[in-house]
Amino acid sequence: MEQQIHFCTTHDDVQIAYATVGQGPPLLKAANWLSHLEWDWQSPIWRHLLREFSRDHTFIRYDERGNGLSDWKVADLSFNAWVEDLESVVEATKLDRFPLLGISQGGAVAIAYAVRHPEKVSHLILYGAYARGWITRDSAEEIEQRQAQLTLVRLGWGRDNPAFRQLWTSLYAPDATPEQAQSFNDLQRISTSPENAVKLLTEMGNIDVVDLLPQVKVPTLVLHCRDEAGVPFEEGRKLAGTISGARFVPLEGRNHLLLEGAPSWGTFVKEIRRFLGTEETSALTQTSRKSSGAPAKALIDLHRTDLPDRYSLISLLGVGGMGEVYLAEDTRLGRKVSIKTLPSEFTNDKERLRRFHHEARAASALNHPNLLTIHEIGSEAGAHFIAAEYIDGETLRQTLKRGKMKVDEALDVAQQAAFALTAAHREGIVHRDIKPENIMVRHDGIVKVLDFGLAKLLEDHERDMIDHEADTRALVLTDPGKVLGTPQYMSPEQARGQDLDARTDIWSLGVVLYEMVAGRPPFRGETKSHTVVSILEAEPPPLSALAPEAPTELQRIVRKALTKDPDSRYQTARDLMIDLKNLRRELDIQSELKRSTVSDASDRTDRDNL
């Protein structure tokens, strides 16, 4: 997932940088002091928030004037200008109605905007916000402290020595890790000039929107950490107590900044998703037909009592044939996990449940960087569940929705997936459902193959309900959300319902590789039956016809992986991985030679011109 940075111009000719990322309904964040669109995207201070809410929203944020990528040399750094910056971004992005998030000083800006434009704001979310700045709060002790801090800003803000800036880091994030502290120190240095920092901090001190609070007419959620030193907790209570109908959520912790892994983070996400109603809209909901013919609603409950207390559910990630998948926080270890729970039709069958646990334990025994790590399998509180690592990234399917991939990117993903299959096959585990939905790419480029050990249980479960005489019996495995049996990725032997071995995964990965490079699967049909017939009887269009840039060796690799006779196909995932690795190395060498040739030609031209 990549953010897109744009610029808009305010009525006083100031250029404001704004960024959009993700897909779905909009969620706009008002700017707060200390931001830099590029830096924040990778920063451990902000990246978890940006990626969390861009999973199912078009998340929009901007650098206010005097900060980040927006114009620094501006005459007007007033509060009213900050509100007009927000108005300019809304106009540039052509937003109609949207939730508005205000953090810290951005909360006052969001309040002013919501009063000016109540027809635009569907929900108002305020975190660590205040209606009165440090000057208007009229605390002699705080004013003296802040003025001393302003002196330090004038003296040391732009210096290489971070000691001056560490003061702010300690104030806003006392529990920061060394990485987080260093990132916030650096953000202070690159986000604005010492002169602007003094002006901005002084203007924040003069903020006073107390009179606007009773005029807020939109649903409002206020969240504030109890023990934070950056903005007094009483300021959050004042907001919630004065805005009509506002809901107040006290958070545990002493950080003004929302640090990943802090006690406040999981609650913050959960409460906002509940407030926005995205517990359901963010999920891949499933509707199934009961015998009565009436649709059954997907069960979405973030307050389940049948899971261990140490898991605090944050949001629903998806619903499928194997149950529900939640994002949760393991409060004991302070880490994010994904929780998969099994539906009752599996857990009520002791034999299938026994096989499930057997296969899940086998998958959990796999220790490989390209395989999903399973932390725990249990049923101690009632529900049968699997706790696994949470992957901060996107599925390959989400990537492919943006179009076909570059050859080198496709080869990288395929090689890592083949590496994962090599490890699994060595332990006697066959995936049976390799497809873009079961391959995730982390934001750092690491590929993770998901759902090992789960396919066989679903396969056995479904085969009890089909006609064993039909050659295309596996077609019943293709209902939306099922783990096993997506027609476009089935090997011929899988489509026929024959016994499977590791070579079925090699075929499926070949299909995925073809799709990454060509932008479409190799086998398609008007119906599922037509797709299976194509797999059994037809040859796919030559890769060169859909991707002329595909190297000849890549075309050979794909043809071999998609050979219908398993005995003529790659026999091991390791062999496929080696060919992919060698091709990547050859392409790197060719690219380097090309660069060297161009460089040499340029040098000769320069010498000839002397």
Give me the CATH number covering residue 341: 3.30.200.20
Please indicate, yes or no, whether residues 271 and 320 belong to a single structural domain of this protein.
Answer: no
Please indicate, yes or no, whether residues 363 and 409 belong to a single structural domain of this protein.
Answer: no
In a domain, 399, yes or no: yes
Find where tokens 């861009």 sit: 54
Q: How many domains does the chain have?
A: 3
In a domain, 151, yes or no: no
Neighbours of 372 (CB within 10 A): 22
Please indicate, yes or no, whether residues 430 and 545 belong to a single structural domain of this protein.
Answer: yes
In a domain, 326, yes or no: yes
In a domain, 500, yes or no: yes
Q: Looking at residue 73, what is its pLDDT?
A: 95
Please indicate, yes or no, whether residues 410 and 355 belong to a single structural domain of this protein.
Answer: no
Q: Looking at residue 362, what is its pLDDT?
A: 66
Please indicate, yes or no, whether residues 419 and 377 belong to a single structural domain of this protein.
Answer: no
Q: Looking at residue 288, what is its pLDDT?
A: 31
Upper half-sphere CA count for residue 486 (Cβ side, 13 Å): 24
In a domain, 112, yes or no: yes
β-pairing, 98-103 vs 121-127, is: parallel
CA distance 181 to 170: 8
Please indicate, yes or no, whether residues 75 and 224 belong to a single structural domain of this protein.
Answer: yes
Q: Looking at residue 303, what is its pLDDT?
A: 66
Please indicate, yes or no, whether residues 367 and 411 belong to a single structural domain of this protein.
Answer: no
Q: Looking at residue 466, what is its pLDDT?
A: 32
Burial of 428 (0-12, 13-18, 19+ CB in 10 A): exposed
Stretches where the chain sits below pLDDT 70 are 1, 158-165, 278-303, 319-323, 343-349, 351-352, 354-356, 358-360, 362-363, 380-382, 452-485, 598-610
Please indicate, yes or no, whether residues 365 and 469 belong to a single structural domain of this protein.
Answer: no
Q: Looking at residue 28, what is its pLDDT?
A: 98
Please indicate, yes or no, whether residues 375 and 244 belong to a single structural domain of this protein.
Answer: no
Please indicate, yes or no, whether residues 383 and 399 belong to a single structural domain of this protein.
Answer: no
**Can you read off the two tokens belonging to residue 55?**
């999973």
**Can you read off the two tokens belonging to residue 202?**
């002084």
Find where tokens 């006392």 sit: 174
Under 8 Å between Cβ of 209 and 126: no
pLDDT digits (tens, 9 = 90+) for 176-192: 888 888 888 888 888 99
In a domain, 174, yes or no: no
In a domain, 340, yes or no: yes
Domain of 55, CATH number, reads: 3.40.50.1820
Please indicate, yes or no, whether residues 124 and 93 belong to a single structural domain of this protein.
Answer: yes
Domain of 539, CATH number, reads: 1.10.510.10
In a domain, 140, yes or no: no
545 CB-near residues (< 8 Å, 6+ apart): none
Find where tokens 């040739």 sit: 597
Provide the domain limits for residue 565: 395-579
Please indicate, yes or no, whether residues 448 and 418 belong to a single structural domain of this protein.
Answer: yes
| Domain end (from 328, 363, 389) | 389
Q: Looking at residue 469, what is its pLDDT?
A: 29
